[in-house]
Structure 1
Amino acid sequence: MNIPHSVTTHADLIADGYKNIKAMSALSITPDSMVKFHGFLDLLSNEHGSEFAEHVLAQPQIQDIKPGIQQLFSQASSLYERHWAERLVESEDALALLTQEYPYYQHYERATTLEISAINSLSSDAVNRVLMVGSGALPLTSLALFNAGLAVDNLDINQPDLLLGKSVCDALQPDNQMAFIHNDVCVQEQLDQYDVIWLAALVGDEKIKGKIIQHLFENMRPGAHLVIRTAYNLRTLLYPSTNEQALLPFQLKLKVQTYADNFHSILIAQKPE
């Protein structure tokens, strides 16, 4: 197969962008580092078609650095969330700071609204109690779910991030009654109390995600739904993608494959009743 020159050129640009970020003396959230990160993310735009993305992902230099890119993005995302979480906690007007200055506020609002609408459409019974797995230091999804009238529990394996996330929720919504659970989801019990479980995109690699999905299936109640945030095409370089096969024995109910940047793809599955 003849690979178009544009594919190899794009793969080289991705590899060079990754090397430039790796060459930074320290991974930190600064104006200069954000320029580099945003430039790199632009190379992984959702607007690239599937055929083009498949060719780019198949390039040897991309296969070699894919694990490193995912690890780097996970670290950078955690730093970015902590940076904004600390700003919100320290702010005199956390809500104004979030809604007016946080770049991805509208993304979380739109994404969670879409997910809630889909869940309500798919569920035969009213949705009341939900669990957010991988809530992190900036639990904006959890707040959106709470503001939609749902009872929300947050779970994260990283205790400092979990506690920082609790402080963020207290700053933004002082009357929230959310629970914050420090645990590994693979050993979390009493999962049958939830109508829906949300699984954040950066929770685990492909192998760990498989274990998580199996544990959830074994412990969720029949009829409950699972919402998985994932990625397709070039965005799979940023975090592990979950496909339909990986969801078995859950039953896939909805797949939303987005082609807009700053908007993740979504899988919704149900444990058979």
Structure 2
Amino acid sequence: MNVSNPVHTHAAKIVAEYHRLKSLSELTITAETMMMFHQFLNLLSNEHGSEFADAVLAEPAIQGIKFGIQQLFSQASSLYERHWAERIIASQHPNAVLSEEYPYYLHYQRATALEINAIQALADKPTQQVLMVGSGALPLTSLALANSGFTVDNLDISAADLSLGEQVCGGVAKNQHMRFIHNDILQQTDLRQYDVIWLAALVGDETIKNNILQHLFNHMQAGALLVIRTAFNLRTLLYPSLTEQHIAPFQLKLKIQTYADNFHSILIAQKPKQ
């Protein structure tokens, strides 16, 4: 790889950091491994322009490790959420641990607020009941949605993560009414009750995501909205991404690509009214 070119140089750094993470004897949540992951994630910042990002993504060495990066990030994200969920559950002051110690608390508050504001602007009627697909062990989005007055159902394919998420919500939001559903979204058919469905970024690979979109379209009520968390530019190395071309026959209503704070990108679509 020619490192005299900025694109090659950046691609080489990504490859090197990925192999450094892969060389760990065990993936655990420690200060050292978190520092390594932060260094890696900084290389994939949204602040890089699209032309530069496209050139880096086109590098053969990057294409060769893309799937491996997504697998590694998914594994690390799950471990990280479980680590913090267990800390919150074990604490006598769960709200303080969540709001004052968890590093990404404000990030989730701001990101979900952006989505809620967009939904309220786009919806034809007041939003009441919502479903979070892939709520996970640390359902911060669901908590933010509940705090905004929505009735929230949480769905996850992992029984262990769903149980942790229910315990977290029980500790920090005792008066919030939520349901917790252990199921594969592709087996969940009673979706007409939801005004809005949120689809987490790490739910499934690209093929599974496309199958999920078709399933949601078949079972959602006409006029309901779908919030898809996705990625663009170098962040597509972390998440199996969806674009507006993937979401038909849903109608795209809003596309948000953020260039700050490494926010996920957002697509909001609607099942056409009948």
Task: Give the TM interval when normalised to the shorter protein.
Answer: over 0.9
For 2:124 and 2:212, locate their aligned partners in 1 and report how far apart those are by CA, in whole Å. 25
- TM-score normalised by structure 1 residue count: 0.98
- Pair 163,63 (structure 1): closer, same or farther in 2 beyond 3 Å: same
For 1:39 and 1:151, locate their aligned partners in 2 and report how far apart those are by CA, in whole Å. 38
State whether residues 3 and 9 of structure 2, in contact with CA within 8 Å, keep that contact through their aligned partners in structure 1. Answer: no
- TM-score normalised by structure 2 residue count: 0.98
Q: 1:67 matched to which residue of 2? A: 67
Q: 1:158 matched to which residue of 2? A: 158
Q: 2:109 matched to which residue of 1? A: 109
Q: Give the drift of 1:162.
A: 0.3
Q: Which moved more, 1:171-180 or 1:82-91?
A: 171-180
Aligned-residue identity in percent: 65
Q: How many residues align?
A: 272
State whether residues 15 and 62 of structure 1, in contact with CA within 8 Å, keep that contact through their aligned partners in structure 2. Answer: yes
State whether residues 107 and 262 of structure 1, in contact with CA within 8 Å, keep that contact through their aligned partners in structure 2. Answer: no
For 2:229 and 2:3, locate their aligned partners in 1 and report how far apart those are by CA, in whole Å. 31
For 1:42 and 1:272, locate their aligned partners in 2 and report how far apart those are by CA, in whole Å. 39
Counterpart check, 1:30 vs 2:11? no
Amino acid at match of 2:102: Y
Q: 1:144 matched to which residue of 2? A: 144
Q: Give the drift of 1:262.
A: 3.2
Q: 1:122 matched to which residue of 2? A: 122
For 1:139 and 1:98, locate their aligned partners in 2 and report how far apart those are by CA, in whole Å. 11
Gaps of 5+ in 1: none
State whether residues 14 and 40 of structure 2, in contact with CA within 8 Å, keep that contact through their aligned partners in structure 1. Answer: yes
Gaps of 5+ in 2: none
Q: Give the drift of 1:147.
A: 0.5
Counterpart check, 1:222 vs 2:214? no
**Secondary structure of residue in 1 paired with 2:253:** strand
For 1:148 and 1:137, locate their aligned partners in 2 and report how far apart those are by CA, in whole Å. 21
Amino acid at match of 1:248: A
Q: Give the drift of 1:35.
A: 0.8
For 1:4 and 1:132, locate their aligned partners in 2 and report how far apart those are by CA, in whole Å. 46
1:37-56 paired onto structure 2 within 5 Å = 37-56=37-56
For 1:42 and 1:167, locate their aligned partners in 2 and report how far apart those are by CA, in whole Å. 32
State whether residues 155 and 162 of structure 1, in contact with CA within 8 Å, keep that contact through their aligned partners in structure 2. Answer: yes
Over the residues paired in the alignment, what is the CA RMSD in angstroms?
1.1
For 2:30 and 2:110, locate their aligned partners in 1 and report how far apart those are by CA, in whole Å. 27
State whether residues 3 and 55 of structure 1, in contact with CA within 8 Å, keep that contact through their aligned partners in structure 2. Answer: no
For 1:191 and 1:4, locate their aligned partners in 2 and report how far apart those are by CA, in whole Å. 53
For 2:174 and 2:206, locate their aligned partners in 1 and report how far apart those are by CA, in whole Å. 36
Q: 1:100 matched to which residue of 2? A: 100
For 2:147 and 2:235, locate their aligned partners in 1 and report how far apart those are by CA, in whole Å. 29
Counterpart check, 1:244 vs 2:251? no
For 1:63 and 1:42, locate their aligned partners in 2 and report how far apart those are by CA, in whole Å. 19
For 1:130 and 1:192, locate their aligned partners in 2 and report how far apart those are by CA, in whole Å. 11
Q: 1:195 matched to which residue of 2? A: 195
Q: Give the drift of 1:4.
A: 7.3
State whether residues 220 and 271 of structure 1, in contact with CA within 8 Å, keep that contact through their aligned partners in structure 2. Answer: yes
Q: Give the drift of 1:156.
A: 0.3
For 2:3 and 2:245, locate their aligned partners in 1 and report how far apart those are by CA, in whole Å. 29
Q: Give the drift of 1:243.
A: 0.3
Q: Give the drift of 1:225.
A: 0.1
**Secondary structure of residue in 2 paired with 1:229:** strand
Q: Give the drift of 1:218.
A: 0.4
Q: Give the drift of 1:124.
A: 1.4
State whether residues 137 and 161 of structure 2, in contact with CA within 8 Å, keep that contact through their aligned partners in structure 1. Answer: yes
